[in-house]
A and B are shown apart, each in its own frame.
Chain A
Amino acid sequence: MIAKAKQLLHRAVGRSIRRKLLWITTLTSTAVLLLACTMFFLYDQAAFRRSLVAQVGSVAQTIGHNCTAALAFNDKRAAERNLAALRLSPGVLSGAIYDDRGLLFAAYRQSASEPLPPPPPAPQRADFHRRTLHLSQPILLEGDLIGVIAVSHSLQPLTDRVRQYSVIALGIMAAALLLAFFLSLHLQHTVSAPLQRLAQVAARISQEKDYSVRAEATTQDEVGVLVKSLNQMLDTIQDRDERLMQSRQSLVRYQRQLRSLAQQLVVSEENERRQIATELHDSVAQLLWTARLKLDLMLREKTPAQPDAIHEARDLVDQVLSQVRLLTFRLSPPALYELGLQTAVSQLCQRARVSYGLAISFQDDTQGLAIRQKVALILFRSIQELLMNVYKHASATQAGVCLALDDEDHIIATIADDGKGFSPEALSNRSGGSGGGFGLFSIRERIDQAGGIMEIDSSPGNGTTITLVTPLEEEGTARGEDEEEEPVLN
């Protein structure tokens, strides 16, 4: 029944909590009032019936007692005279005295058409019928039952009372319901208003996707807790949104840098080739051409070759060899593969001293440890690039390169100069492309790939120190999955 009431309530009042509260209050009041009125009504009915029985019973008893002599001496007229006193009770419709054999002895009727009460089944009884109360009282003489008086009483007062009571109850109920309705109309605000405000905020958030909106907690109850929780959730969402946005921006920047790096790679490869081609053409080819001319000249003269001419040719060939060695080193330093990273870096520094005119010191604290080819290559190229940067951009007078090991199987390469320095923040914010910023970016990429990190310690006017920390063992290779045995440089 309650489930059905809920269903009806749901259908009747729709989705507003305000209306639901109103309905619940009103329905509860109605139910309680109905129950109270019904119980009171039933109690009143029972009480009224009891009092009616007592009242009519006492009248019957009095009249019955007055009829004792009439019954004892068989005087029907006297009995009827006594019985006629019943007319003083307007509710009595008829009355009768039955003698000890159950025969009618005397009768009274309010109106001629009124039926007499039937002989009662027991001397003392009260039976409620639809419209009448049939009541009987024994008539005793010296303890002997000499007759019974039976009275038929109208139940009109009872009906009147029911009607009167119903009108009063309906009036009270209407007034109470009206009061309950208006009271709950005002009081339900304390419950529904915060909820409505919360619902509005929630709707705004879901429609406008604006997570900066906050609900206002006005109560300390469950709704207040709900508001606080919602606000906390919104804080979290907003914070996460911001962080997401930031990482997306840096991702976009990174992507752009990568794209430029790829382009730059193509360009620098092309530049490198052209430079080598130019050098081959300008120096090696020229020298070889000159050497050939000299040899042709010697063949054409048909005279034994002059030692000077042969020496000249040999010098030319020496120059070619020197050029080729230089080119070879630039293309792929043989020392790196043959003698190891430490020697290769040492040669690099030496060559830079000669080529760039820089005072470069080199310190090797690796105690001749053999380093994997991949790591060695990355470090060598990085150091080469960084030294090029020092030469090109730092305007430094002194520079130093150091190779060392830490306790956790990392090789640490430090390149320091006393040049003009730069701001690393300004550098990282540039989208890359040209200049040293791009070079640093590509170095960082390579070191990252090897599982290492690059640290830049620099500020304008204070020189630059760049530290490359690279693990000696590649992460994950310990398992040896599909990984080819890597050659080790020594």
Chain B
Amino acid sequence: MNWLRGVRQLALGLLLALAGLGVSRGADPPLAAPEYQVKAAFLLNFARFVEWPGADQWPADRPIVLGIQELEPFGEALKLIEGRTAQGHTLQVRHITSTNELDSCDLLFLNSPQPSEVRQYLRLASGKPILTIGETPGFASAWGGVIRLRQDGEHMQIHVNPAAARDAGLKVSSQLLEIARIVGNP
């Protein structure tokens, strides 16, 4: 039965190798806080559970662009999601420094410490097919953002404003809605 054991070891090795490619790949880099590793993974996964209008017409080489206001807190964690695929398109991470760059983004993570700046960007993005994600209290429920991440102890909560998503022409997957908390006016 040696060959069987060999097959098992090979399979186990394969599993570990595959696991290494998963979202947990961010466990290794030392500089990134665990919280931001999770956030980076969540950002990638949002791209996978939300559908953009006309996305089925996109050419294969068109990337999905993730714009981020503040890159520093992520440390090396963003490298783990950069270039990964979501709905068949490569994820491209871009540092957003001005409002002019908004239109080129499909996802927008508004993590600026200044709430005014966050709200300014939100206002400009509203009505456009941009998935806005933030951390500020009231980002989804009051300000019109689509998704808000809220750290609750060890658990990361997801708040979704379906009305805002609908306004942006985005279709949020039922699976995501199932695990998310629904906020805002229906």
Contact = CB atoms under 8 A, between A and B. Distances in A.
A194 interface: no
Given A78-B178, A101-B24, A143-B85, A73 B156 contact: yes
Interface residues of A, number: 24
A72 B19 contact: no
Q: Contact residue range for chain B? A: 20 to 34
A361 interface: no
A146 B23 contact: yes
Contacts of B175: 66, 68-70
Nearest to B19: A100
Contacts of A233: none
A142 B11 CA distance: 21
Contacts of A142: 48, 84-87
A69 B41 CA distance: 12
Q: Which of A69, A75, A122 has the most CB of B within 10 A?
A: A69
A73 B179 contact: yes
18 contacts: A68-B175, A70-B179, A73-B42, A74-B38, A75-B179, A78-B179, A100-B19, A102-B19, A121-B15, A122-B11, A122-B14, A123-B15, A142-B86, A144-B22, A144-B23, A145-B22, A146-B22, A148-B15
A172 interface: no
B49 interface: yes
Interface of A: 66, 68-70, 72-75, 78, 99-102, 121-123, 125, 141-146, 148
A145 B18 CA distance: 6
Q: Is the interface of B mostly helix, strand, loop or mixed?
A: helix
Nearest to B87: A142
B49 A100 contact: no
Contact of A74 (B15, B21, B156): B156
A115 B69 CA distance: 48
Contacts of A66: 175
A274 to B, nearest CB: 125
Given A101-B24, A122-B15, 17 more contacts: A69-B175, A69-B179, A70-B175, A73-B42, A73-B179, A78-B178, A100-B19, A102-B15, A102-B16, A122-B11, A122-B12, A123-B15, A141-B45, A142-B48, A142-B87, A144-B84, A145-B22
B97 interface: no
B176 interface: yes
A302 B23 CA distance: 196
Contacts of B12: 121-122
B158 interface: yes
A142 B175 CA distance: 15
A101 B19 contact: yes
Contact of A69 (B21, B155, B178): B178
A100 B18 contact: yes
A335 B156 CA distance: 168
Contacts of A144: 18, 21-23, 84
